[in-house]
């Protein structure tokens, strides 16, 4: 792998609604410096560095950026950074966002939005991003047993022209079926990685593939560390494969995720230009069937 010639298209493409995107995207959560943990996760990233990372991602072929109005810290807003760095937006750039959770001004988690509040969340994303419509809005489920009423509210906003495409996040196969009975679903965003396999065990990934729906995992690199830093604990098999190819364990994790199926995308986030280049370079890492099988056996970290 050569990071100097790497391009996000090296992992192939997938059609999200009416837009073709490279399967390696970028998640903007970490650009706020505090992820989704309020003030507890360290100092915010330098603003100029965040802007450079975003622009470099696009230069490297990233044309799918995941964000949300609730990605903010006291000094940084992911949407504002994206707007400053990339507007006017390239025609082939898809911005996906999420609605559902409610945070207070200090970053504290308050509650789940009501269906009636979702329009305000959509409009806030529009304002922050400087758009007259949103390419893709994912409904982030917040422990509701049913998402029908919330997804129905978003379907109405889609019909009104504020949203082009809809997705769901943190869902089960039953929630996906519930949403598809209301309106088309183009993607599912769930946590998934070598040590986060619920969406595999319940058949959701395969269901998405059968229905032509993109499966977009988050925490593919961070794993069980979730909103924290990228996982620094690695199974012996991950380390062995990394040594074989002369790459990092994070690159092996990302390549394994992309090998899961042509409909599986990835949206790793980073605040480091070097890590960004490594993530893009992982697109050209071709694991052998035996290596995929070896990694498939991993169920949890040591």
User: How large is the average pLDDT for residues 216-244?
Assistant: 76
Domain made up of 8-233+257-285: CATH architecture: Alpha-Beta Barrel (3.20)
pLDDT in tens, 173-194: 999 999 999 999 999 999 998 8
List of residues 6+ apart from 105 with CB closer than 8 A: none
| Domains of the chain, residue spans | 8-233+257-285
What's the pTM value of the predicted model, to 2 decimals?
0.92
Mean predicted lDDT score pLDDT of the chain: 90
Q: How confident is the model at residue 39 (pLDDT cuts 50, 70, 90)?
A: very low
Q: How confident is the model at residue 74 (pLDDT cuts 50, 70, 90)?
A: confident
pLDDT in tens, 110-130: 689 999 999 999 999 999 999
DSSP 196-263: B-HHHHTTHHHHHHHTT-EEEEESTTTGGGTTSSPP----HHHHHHHHHHT--HHHHHHHHHHTT-TT
Q: What percent of the chain is predicted at pLDDT more than 70?
A: 89
pLDDT at 302 over 70: no
pLDDT in tens, 275-289: 999 999 999 999 999
Active-site annotation holds for 71: yes
Spatial distance between the Cα atoms of 212 and 207, rounded to a whole number of angstroms? 9
């Amino acid at each position: 792998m050569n990071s100097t010639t790497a391009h996000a298209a090296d992992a192939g493409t997938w059609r999200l609604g009416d837009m073709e995107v490279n399967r390696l995207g970028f998640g903007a959560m970490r650009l706020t410096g505090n992820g989704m943990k309020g003030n507890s996760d360290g100092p915010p990233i330098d603003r100029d560095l965040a802007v450079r990372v975003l622009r470099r991602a696009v230069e490297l072929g990233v044309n799918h950026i995941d964000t949300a109005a609730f990605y903010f810290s006291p000094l940084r807003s992911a949407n504002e950074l994206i707007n400053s760095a990339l507007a006017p937006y390239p025609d082939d750039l898809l911005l996906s966002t999420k609605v559902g959770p409610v945070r207070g001004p200090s970053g504290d988690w308050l509650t789940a939005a009501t269906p009636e509040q979702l329009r305000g969340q959509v409009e806030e994303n529009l304002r922050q991003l400087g758009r007259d419509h949103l390419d893709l809005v994912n409904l982030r489920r917040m422990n509701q047993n049913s998402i029908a009423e919330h997804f129905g509210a978003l379907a109405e906003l889609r019909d009104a022209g504020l949203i082009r495409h809809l997705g769901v996040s943190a869902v089960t196969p039953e929630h996906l079926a519930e949403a598809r009975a209301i309106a088309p679903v183009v993607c599912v965003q769930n946590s998934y990685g070598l040590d986060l396999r619920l969406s595999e065990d319940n058949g959701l990934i395969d269901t998405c593939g059968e229905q032509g729906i993109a499966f977009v995992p988050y925490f593919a690199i961070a794993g069980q560390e979730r909103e924290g830093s990228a996982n620094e604990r690695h199974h012996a098999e991950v380390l062995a494969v990394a040594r074989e190819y002369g790459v990092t364990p994070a690159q092996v994790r990302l390549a394994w995720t992309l090998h899961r199926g042509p409909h599986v995308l990835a949206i790793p986030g980073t605040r480091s230009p070097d890590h960004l280049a490594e993530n893009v370079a992982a697109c050209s890492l071709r694991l052998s069937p035996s290596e995929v099988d070896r990694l498939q056996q991993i169920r949890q970290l040591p």
